[in-house]
Amino acid sequence: MRLTHFSAAALAAIACTSMVMFATPKPPAGGGTVTGKVTYTGTPAKMKPIDMSKEPTCAKQHATPVMTQNVTTGPGNTLQWVVVYISAGDQGSTAPSQAVKYEQKGCEYLPHVLPLQVSQQLQIFNDDQTSHNIHPLAKVNPEWNKSQPAGSPPIDTKYEKAEFIPVKCNIHPWMHGYFVVLNTSHYSVTGEDGSFSLTGLPPGKYTLTAWQEQYGTQTQEVTIAGNESKSVNFSFKALPY
């Protein structure tokens, strides 16, 4: 099992921003809850250290090399950065007025995977002393790429259709992330312990989907009655490449 290592600066940035970026709109009072964990079986590919030597201003921000994050594992064969969401059965909701924040810091995208709702405002910041050229590779929504020099104001944008959008930097080829644009306010992103929690679910039958950028998706059906809590777990088969 391979654990991804982060610099102290990156961990602090994730800790500070995740409270805003991963926060779903406040659920209605009451409602059901679905909790669980996402794990893997088999042997996942080893994540590789990223060589940032061509961008010294970023390299010096990391005490140890940053690792690739397409498969990030934790203790007990858990998987991080898995988006778990309601893909069917949700009645939908209006996009929250609060914008989500995406940071370019230390030549990394923070967070690695950013969920947001359709039509929700997205603000993209450059916290580095170098220029970036952010390029979301949308297929359903319009594709664009924009240069963002150091010290420039945030890029404000939004997406009008649900889509899983890979994000890259045209200047720094090691920078990769995802925008996960959803039609639901019921979603969660797993942390290092692989856990997720969906709250405020009205009574009904739902399709619960777990998405991992390299291993794809899995779905399970769950029925909520009243304010009950259900436990649902997902397990992906890891591939050693």
Contacts of 149 by beta carbon, 8 Å cutoff, 6+ apart:
126, 131
Residue 103, token pair as written in the block: 């940071």
Q: How far apart are CA 10 and CA 106, in angstroms?
A: 8
Average pLDDT, the chain: 90
Spatial separation of the C-alpha atoms in residues 28 and 199, rounded to whole Å:
9
pLDDT digits (tens, 9 = 90+) for 105-114: 999 999 999 9
Instruction: Flag whether pLDDT at 6 surpasses 70.
Output: no
Quick check: 136 pLDDT over 50? yes
What is the predicted pLDDT for the residue at 1?
A: 38
Residue ranges and CATH numbers for the domains of the chain are 8-237 (2.60.40.420)
- Quick one: pLDDT band at residue 186, thresholds 50, 70, 90? very high
Helix (H, G, I), strand (E, B) or coil at 97: coil
pLDDT digits (tens, 9 = 90+) for 11-58: 344 444 433 344 444 545 569 999 999 999 999 989 999 999 999 999
Q: Let me know if 173 is exposed, middle or buried by CB neighbors in 10 A (0-12, 13-18, 19+).
A: exposed
pLDDT for 65 beyond 50? yes
Residues 6+ apart with CB under 8 A from 54: none
> What is the structure's pLDDT at 188?
98
